[in-house]
Amino acid sequence: MKKLLFSSLMLIAPLAYAQNKDKLTHPIDVDAIRETKLTGYIGLNPTVMSKPATPAQANSFLKKFPGKKYFTFPEGHENSIRLLDSLPEKWTSYNTEAQTNFKGKAQPGEYYTFQIGVYANETPLKNVKVSFSPLSSSNGQVIKDVTCFNTGGISFKGEPFSKSVQLKAKHVLPLWFGVQIPEDYKGEFRGRVEIKPEGLPATFVNVSVNVSGNLMVNHGFNDETTLARLAWLNTKVGLDDGITNGFKQVTRAQKDISILGRTVKLSEQGLPADIQTFFDKNNELIVSRGEPILASPIKFVIQQNGKELELKAGTIKFEDHFPASTHWETKLTHGDITVTVKGRADYDGFIGYSATVSSAKDVAIDDIRIQVPLRPEKATYMMGLDKEGGFRPKDWHWKWDVIEKHQDEVWMGAVNGGLKLKLKGKNYQRQLVNLYYPFGPLHEPESWGNGSKGGIDIFDENQSVMIKAYSGQRILKKGETYLFDAEFLVTPFKLINKSIQFNDRYYHSDIDTTSNTIKLALEHGANIINVHHKKDIYPFLDYPFANDNTPDLKAFIDSTHNKGLKTKIYYTTREISVNAPELWAMRALGDEIIYPGPGMATRTLVNPNGVHPWLGQNLKENFIPGWVATFTSGKYKGRQDLAILTRPDSRLNNFFLGGMEWMCKELQIDGIYMDDLALDRETMQRTRKILERERPGGKIDMHTWNHYNKYAKWASSLNLYMDMLPYIDHLWVGEARDYNKSADYWLIEVSGVPFGLSSQMLNKGGNPWRGMVFGITNRLGWFKAKTPEHIWKFWDDYQIERKQMIGFWNDEIPVKTNNPKTEATIYKGKDEVIIAVANWTSDPQKCKLNIDWKSLGLSPDQITAEIPEIIEFQEARKIDVTKEIELEGEKGFLIVIKRK
């Protein structure tokens, strides 16, 4: 969450599932939501479109047009239509001519927007059709690029779509239009909009746009008042088969597919028969010899009368989309049953499947399932399906329950090779995240769930660890199709970038003002500044390009660049500020972008005692209140920024991308900071492409609150966002993390190492001694956390980036402790080795370091060993590494061994 949720107040959650003791306690940070409890003013004034007509005014107006079923009211973009449940007072003065004629002014090159409000009188309007002619001038120039955002556009997947529009009686429908004026056009352009509800006569609105003046800068995107940014709803930016930095292109030889550090061989079913990983055990190198992840081929199974049906496989047909992906299709048949398998493999490690099952007659079956047999050494750890990340239990049994469990996926693996399985059906809808999950939960797949008959069993079988995702008994009905989708992610995604891990040093402040930000960042050794929202230079959530703050934000970024710093901006999807001028147009699109919900009746952790009255007065109904940011100092002191929830997988993704491109070009940002995002993998891919193409060297870091609690319904955060991770540079794994949990939990849930990423700690600064076992620190500047600058200095003094990190998870590590309550990781150089050793208990522990001197390339009688001073971490002293050492509870040492 924005202001970091959940870590002090202990809540006891019921132990709903006996196999899982992880649910006994989970902490909530009351400091994280402190700003939502403050009061303030909203600072948004009513407009002429906010004032409803009185009943007398409305009746008087309607009496002038007896028998008229609906009305049209053209408006410019200057006055966004706000009222949906009543007639605005302004419109009661419109005569027939005013209702059917619109005149606007635009500049050459402008993306010009306007609206036509439709009011249904006594009866609802069904299937309202909107069409428009080109705009033409007297000299023959024609503008054909005209859009009605309400009736269609370009989806977040880049596909054209259209939709039906309805309108309740006594309600208003704002139809929003966009017109791209060519840069070399001037004059008066005329056209006509036709509005035709089903069963009613059409209304024609004449449109005249006078184009004059200077060329509009950047189509009007630089000025929020033009509402030209609505064009971003339909952007196609980043939609291509290009790949992002750090990966290699997909190659294919027959059924053998190769991507960065991994190969996949397909079976006759079109499913993976073999997956090899070529990452070393530290995820620092690609090696020549692969290690298998699967024990045997993944298999799609249909069982009838206790026996597996023999599915006859057809020819696999490929369609390559190099360099980014390859796609294929095949058919499996048995008697009357046909399974159409469509698959794809992408350069990032994604392997997606759609298996469509149909039957020529009604057929009773026992089960349809997928079997994924992993090699035991590549199933050491597990995360998901009600299990927090860590060592895999011997057996695990899970059933669908999307209301109480935010779960539909599981990852199992080792550090250098693993596999995530996610199950989807025809009715898949991307869920809301974090504490809003209950308002927009997953849909149980009609295929895999099968009325809660389905589930997943994990167990040992024939020298493998089997994931069996089953659906149970059903009758396949003639003429019906059943969609059994499965998505795999092969991990790790990429090599750990040690320059990012050890050289990217963030300053990330939680205070409202930025006057001292650059000074503090420089003084304490940071080289990247993250600008959070709720700042004097960036006040409104996910809307960093407001006119009120953009000049100051641009000046700040320029200043950081002049001083050799990079600046990244908080920018994500999930909620939208009420200060976004486009809010009203987005609301006019029905539930396409604004997520519908209980409105003023909503109660969440952020709004436990009720919703801010401004939302009720202005949005009235059918919304979900989101974050509340209260300014306590600076330019916006006393003001509150309210937000509402948005729908995932909507054209808001496109709007997000349009804003991303604009900030890269106009503000020269060096990347973005993402916070519990609601994006799909393809949009994240496009985001990365934009950043790399417009701002080479730009970075993306991602924060996630711990979703494993009763509010977010027991999701594993890195499972939830795993398909985002290929495009992330740094993780900031956040609040509600219990840093007293075991090292295997740290490895899977916190460190990022199994996915080819580095990370940082959040909750009260984490534990620096345990953090160094994974090469991570906390973040400079954040709320009540110790500074990491002294560890950064140690990194520089001992050139840690140039050393090979070998973690305790690697069975070939040359330094091991003899006490299982402690762990050690080394950073190995030619003449110098750093040992990070930490105590994973609250009690003092003694341990001996078992050192393989030959593997280190050192001799015990030719070295010196010391514990160097690190402020707030350890005091300097000599140490004999051949003898037992004592570690304080929850602490440890950084020990430096040097060749004499």
Bigger pLDDT: 28 vs 366: 366
10 Å CB burial of residue 900 (0-12, 13-18, 19+) is exposed
Q: Is the pLDDT of residue 323 over 80?
A: yes
381 has pLDDT over 60: yes
Residue 780 has pLDDT above 80, yes or no: yes
Residue 455 confidence (pLDDT) above 80: yes
Q: Are 659 and 229 in contact (CB under 8 A)?
A: yes
Strands (E) located in 81-214: 101-106, 111-120, 129-132, 135-136, 142-143, 146-148, 152-154, 160-162, 172-180, 187-196, 203-211
Residue 403 and residue 103: Cα distance in Å, rounded?
51
- The confidence score (pLDDT) of residue 9 equals 27
> How many CA atoms does the CB half-sphere of 197 hold within 13 Å?
19
Express each pLDDT in 215-269 by its tens digit.
Answer: 999 999 999 999 999 999 999 999 999 999 999 999 999 999 999 999 999 999 9
pLDDT digits (tens, 9 = 90+) for 819-854: 999 999 999 999 999 999 999 999 999 999 999 999
- 431/648 Cα distance (integer angstroms): 7
Q: How confident is the model at residue 25 (pLDDT cuts 50, 70, 90)?
A: low
- The domains of the chain, with CATH numbers, are 9-37+495-797 (3.20.20.70), 50-234 (2.60.40.10), 251-491 (2.70.98.90), 804-899 (2.60.40.1180)
The answer, yes or no, to whether residue 504 has pLDDT greater than 50, is yes
Contacts for 708 with CB less than 8 Å, ≥ 6 apart? 22, 26, 388, 714, 715, 716, 717, 736
Give pLDDT, residue 609: 85
pLDDT more than 70, % of the chain = 96
User: pLDDT per residue over 201-214, tens digit each?
Assistant: 999 999 999 999 99
- 447 Cβ neighbours under 8 A, 6+ residues apart: 357, 368, 425, 426, 471, 482, 483, 484, 485
DSSP 8-state secondary structure symbol assigned to residue 796: H
31-35, 308-312, 521-525, 577-581: the lowest-pLDDT one: 31-35
Residues 767 and 761: their CA atoms lie apart, in Å, by 8
d(CA 285, CA 503): 19
Q: Is the pLDDT of residue 3 over 60?
A: no
pLDDT tens per residue across span 587-646: 999 999 999 999 999 998 888 888 999 999 999 999 999 999 999 999 999 999 999 999
- Cα–Cα dist 455/436, whole Å: 25
Question: CA 201 → CA 72, 123, 128, 369, 594, distances in Å?
Answer: 13, 14, 11, 53, 31
Contact 766, 746 (CB under 8 A): no
492: preceding bond cis by omega (within 30 degrees): yes
Contact criterion met (CB below 8 Å) for 644 and 625: yes
- Angle, helices 652-662 vs 681-694, to 10°: value is 10
Taking only the tens place, the pLDDT of each residue in 186-204 is 999 999 999 999 999 999 9
**pLDDT at 1 (0 to 100):** 42
Torsion sign over Cα 240, 722, 652, 570: negative
H-helix segments, 251-358? none
pLDDT band of 37, cuts 50, 70, 90: low
Given a cut of 50, is residue 16 above it in pLDDT? no
Instruction: Note the pLDDT tens digit of each residue in 387-434.
Output: 999 999 999 999 999 999 999 999 999 999 999 999 999 999 999 999
Res. 138: pLDDT tops 60? yes
pLDDT at position 4 is 40
pTM for the whole thing? Answer: 0.95
Is the backbone of residue 764 left (phi > 0), alpha (psi -120 to 50) or beta?
A: left
Gyration radius (Cα) of the chain, Å: 30
Write out pLDDT tens, residues 505-551: 999 999 999 999 999 999 999 999 999 999 999 999 999 999 999 99
Identify the pLDDT of residue 18: 44
Residue 15 has pLDDT above 50, yes or no: no
Q: Model confidence over 350-373: pLDDT tens digits?
A: 999 999 999 999 999 999 999 999
pLDDT category at 26 given cuts 50, 70, 90 is low
Band the pLDDT of 785: cuts 50, 70, 90: confident
DSSP label at residue 621? S
Q: Give residue 2's pLDDT.
A: 43
Contact 345, 331 (CB under 8 A): no
Average pLDDT over residues 485-503: 98
Burial category of 811 from C-beta neighbours within 10 Å (exposed 0-12, middle 13-18, buried 19 and up): exposed
pLDDT mean over 132-142: 95
Give mean pLDDT, residues 750-754: 97
Q: Dump the DSSP string for 625-671.
A: EEEEEE--SSTTTTBEEEEEEB-SSSTHHHHHHHHHHHIIIII---E
| Mean pLDDT (whole number) for 80-101 | 97
What is the average per-residue pLDDT within 445-458?
98
Copy the structure tokens of residue 618. 């202005």
Please choose, from the candidates 618, 644, 586, the residue with its C-alpha nearest in 3D space to the C-alpha of residue 115: 586
- Mean of pLDDT over the chain: 95
Could you report the per-residue pLDDT of 687-745, keeping only the tens digit for each? 999 999 999 999 999 999 999 999 999 999 999 999 999 999 999 998 888 999 999 99
**818 — pLDDT class (breaks 50, 70, 90):** very high
Token pair for residue 745? 């939990």
pLDDT band of 783, cuts 50, 70, 90: confident
Greatest CA separation found in the chain? 104
pLDDT in tens, 44-75: 999 999 999 999 999 999 999 999 999 999 99
Q: What are phi and psi of 865, to 5 degrees?
A: -135, 135
